[in-house]
Amino acid sequence: MSEKPNSWFGYMGQVLRIDLTHHKWTAEPLKKELVENFIGGRGFGAKILWSELLAGVDPLSPENKLVISVGPLTGTKVQSASRWVAQFKSPLTGIYCRSVGGGYFGAELKFAGYDVIIVEGRAEKPVYVWIDNDKVEFRDATKVWAMNTLAARDFLLEETEKRAKAIMIGPAGEKLVKIAAIVTDDSRTAARGGPGAVMGSKNLKAIVVRGSKKPVIYNEEALGEAVKEQIEAYRKWPYFEEFRKLGTNHAVYLWYTFGHFPPYNFQQRELEGIDRFRPEVLASYVVKHKGCYGCMIQCGKVFKVTKGPYAGIAWEFPELETHWSFGGVLGNCNIESIIAANMLCDLYGLDTISTGVAIAFATELYEKGIIGKSETDGLELKWGDPEVIIELVRRIAFRVGNLGNLLAEGVKRAAEVIGRGAEKYAMHIKGLEMPAYDPRAMKGQGLGLATGTIGGSHAISWNKFEILGVPKKVDPFIVEGKAELAKYVQDEMAACETAVFCKLTVNHEMTSPNLYSKVLYAATGIEKFKDERYLWLVGERIWNLERAFDVREGIDNRHDTVPERLLKEPMPRDPAKGQIFELGKLLKDYYRVRGWNERGSPLREKLVELGLVEVAGELEREVFQT
């Protein structure tokens, strides 16, 4: 068997480097060292960005790079492992960002023979890139420029190949809206941190891919056995059927009862109309199940709207986070409008979380009298007004008016511009708008958010201990031991996103580094991957490299925090009533557990242990000595 090529060193696994400035491209096989040290997906992107970006680069300049990658299991029969990841220096946060998307694009990219696309430079005029297996073309995108993603999709697939898959931006990305998403042909998004604006800044409307190769598998039989085991684990998972039925929607109401789904921009007054988010109500809207390539869960739910101004729509999603960002956080329980806002975000290419939180921010400012109609272009902002929400989605996407243009910068920058204490109501961490979790209600989850390498992201630090009680149940309110748990879930997710496994399965008992090492070794035949502990090491390596990137950009312990409100205002409702978020103790523990110094920089010993000695050297040169 040792003679057989594996997927990394055979015809698959190329790195496609696209130079938009000169309309040139090169394809090179993946390097063995990169594969062994970083496995794939998120690992590759972290490494490439660390190595190829200069500190301080303007995220919207030609010098920023956008890395799109898949992993060693993409396009295989391994379940839930065919997502794709976009990595870049974020125009929203100014630090490292990783944003993951689903659908069928990842598998198609793999079938075309690529594990990584590195997009560099900036095209003079709008272009899209058409990748037809080994052939790469730069094509004029003048026609599709300014089109929403659905219209653009129809054009792009007609101009290339009906069965091709695509990632693209909508008007928001073109207009450099800093919360702009990348959207697939099947309306999945890599949304967080403004990857759409990075594409927009490069005049890149879309990447369209068609592939007809199959990934080479090292040991088909062993892979088959391991996948059988994986499928069994899926079936045994207690929430499997609920998840298939409703996806993350089954958890919306439950989350609220946990103290999450924080209403009214985290003011956490009880949400009138929360019953509208009960699973049975949400289920009544669902008419179809959809999913990503190679995933038996099909967590994507298509919602049908039959009444109100948006009647006639059927759209895949919302899911939990968007029910909050256009629902709970805005005090809006009109499900129809949430579906419509979700659809508009997908059409215009916007991050639903950041967009909703930005509107909530403006609404609270208006409520508090910090801004008035002169700053809102005449709009009267109030909680739970579907019409204004929908209108603001459009204004943000197109940067219409004073308020639309301001919120398009994200809440951190908007608060800076507004001044007058607005920052207090800007619910972000390191510039990334917060998701539907309240750190006061779960301390480990809060710590994960505070220390996230991309800012306030639920996806890379999801605390399954506190939320689901797996692998063991812990008290959400205690502080002790939470640093270890935060590190655990962060490293685990970083490891599993090399696949690229879906976070929804990693954060439960379905997929784990143990299962991952089995399928990974079977797929690649690389000895190192046989040992689960090595995957944990790679996870920690990635996390530290991401942190090093951030440190290089000026991030330190002062940025590892959460909005003031969560530190000072006791939680007003059960079950976390009276709780605040004890940042100091948590962070101190966390740095210790991480092997970082008190400023939050990885220590040399830790970096050496992780095989990142050159990172230690650079950090010392660039940061410690200034």
Selected from 103, 126, 170, 194, the binder of a copy of itself by CB under 8 A is 170
Selected from 69, 79, 148, 160, the binder of a copy of itself by CB under 8 A is 148
Nearer to a copy of itself, 64 or 355 (CB): 355
Beta carbon of residue 387, minimum distance to a copy of itself (angstroms, whole number): 12
Nearer to a copy of itself, 140 or 229 (CB): 140
Segment interacting with a copy of itself, rule: CB under 8 A, options 229-237, 245-253, 393-401, 426-434: 393-401
Q: How far, in Å, are 178, 184, 377, 404, 409 from residue 175 at the CA level?
A: 9, 18, 20, 12, 11
Residue 564 neighbours by CB under 8 Å, 6+ apart = 423, 424
Q: Environment class of residue 287 by beta-carbon count within 10 Å: exposed (0-12), middle (13-18) or buried (19+)?
A: exposed
Selected from 309, 378, 421, 570, the binder of a copy of itself by CB under 8 A is 309
Beta carbon of residue 306, minimum distance to a copy of itself (angstroms, whole number): 4
Selected from 244, 304, 424, 585, the binder of a copy of itself by CB under 8 A is 304
Beta carbon of residue 126, minimum distance to a copy of itself (angstroms, whole number): 12
Instruction: Let me know how long the chain is.
Output: 626
Beta carbon of residue 343, minimum distance to a copy of itself (angstroms, whole number): 10
SS3 content of the chain, % helix, strand, coil (to 5): 45, 15, 40
Cis peptide before 613 (omega within 30 of 0): no
Is residue 157 part of the contact set for a copy of itself (CB under 8 A)? Answer: no
Q: What is the DSSP letter of 6?
A: -
Nearer to a copy of itself, 304 or 413 (CB): 304
Selected from 27, 57, 146, 254, the binder of a copy of itself by CB under 8 A is 146
Closest CA to 98 of 591, 543, 412: 543
Selected from 313, 474, 567, 580, the binder of a copy of itself by CB under 8 A is 313
**Contacts with a copy of itself in 10-39 (CB under 8 A)?**
none
Selected from 54, 312, 369, 472, the binder of a copy of itself by CB under 8 A is 312
Beta carbon of residue 212, minimum distance to a copy of itself (angstroms, whole number): 18
Question: What is the Cα–Cα distance from 565 to 562, expressed in whole angstroms?
Answer: 8
> Quick one: how far is CA 223 from the chain centroid?
28
Q: What is the DSSP letter of 514?
A: H
Beta carbon of residue 155, minimum distance to a copy of itself (angstroms, whole number): 7
Other Cβ atoms closer than 10 A to 495: 29
Enter the tokens of residue 158: 């007609």
Number of residues in contact with a copy of itself under rule CB under 8 A: 25
Question: What is the Cα–Cα distance from 351 to 190, expressed in whole angstroms?
Answer: 8
**Contacts with a copy of itself in 395-414 (CB under 8 A)?**
397-398
Nearer to a copy of itself, 153 or 508 (CB): 153
Closest CA to 11 of 26, 27, 25, 24: 27
Segment interacting with a copy of itself, rule: CB under 8 A, options 139-147, 210-218, 271-279, 417-425: 139-147
Q: What angle do CA 159, 75, 197 make, to 5 degrees?
A: 55
Contact 160, 210 (CB under 8 A): yes
Backbone phi and psi for residue 189, each to the nearest 5 degrees, phi listed first? -130, 145
Nearer to a copy of itself, 274 or 314 (CB): 314
277: alpha, beta or left? (left if phi > 0; alpha if psi -120 to 50):
alpha
Segment interacting with a copy of itself, rule: CB under 8 A, options 27-35, 259-267, 390-398, 463-471: 390-398
DSSP per residue over 93-107, as a string?
TSSEEEEEE-TTHHH
Selected from 143, 413, 424, 585, the binder of a copy of itself by CB under 8 A is 143
Q: What angle do CA 509, 511, 516 make, to 5 degrees?
A: 140
Selected from 17, 122, 213, 394, the binder of a copy of itself by CB under 8 A is 394
Selected from 52, 154, 527, 598, the binder of a copy of itself by CB under 8 A is 154
* Amino acid in the structure at residue 40: G
Is residue 288 part of the contact set for a copy of itself (CB under 8 A)? Answer: yes
Is residue 465 part of the contact set for a copy of itself (CB under 8 A)? Answer: no
Binding site for a copy of itself (CB under 8 A): 143, 146-148, 151-152, 154-155, 170-171, 287-288, 304, 306, 309, 311-315, 347-348, 394, 397-398
